[in-house]
Amino acid sequence: MSQTVWNILGILTILASILLFWDYPERLAVLPPDRHFQFIAGGVFFALLLSAIACI
């Protein structure tokens, strides 16, 4: 694929991660306190995955 397609995919991936974390506080508020760490760790892992996809 061309470099332009990769750039567009990278930008869309970054926008997807921003939209994912947009309502993160509301989602975190409804979880029980013992699930907060799992939710945050999963979000960080997913953000790292999206960042890796955007950087390739």
pLDDT of residue 37: 92
**CA dist., res. 24 & res. 43, Å (int):** 9
pLDDT of residue 49: 83
Q: What is the mean pLDDT of residues 18-41?
A: 86
**CA dist., res. 49 & res. 23, Å (int):** 19
**CA dist., res. 6 & res. 32, Å (int):** 39
Instruction: Tell me, rounded to whole angstroms, the distance of Cα 53 from its chain centroid.
Output: 11
Under 8 Å between Cβ of 43 and 16: no
Q: Pick 14 or 36 by higher pLDDT.
A: 36
Residue environment code for 40-53, b if the CB has 16+ CB neighbours within 10 A, otherwise e: eeebeeeeeebeee
Q: Is the pTM of this model over 0.75?
A: no
Q: What is the mean pLDDT of residues 12-36?
A: 84
Q: Is pLDDT at 53 greater than 80 in this prediction? A: no
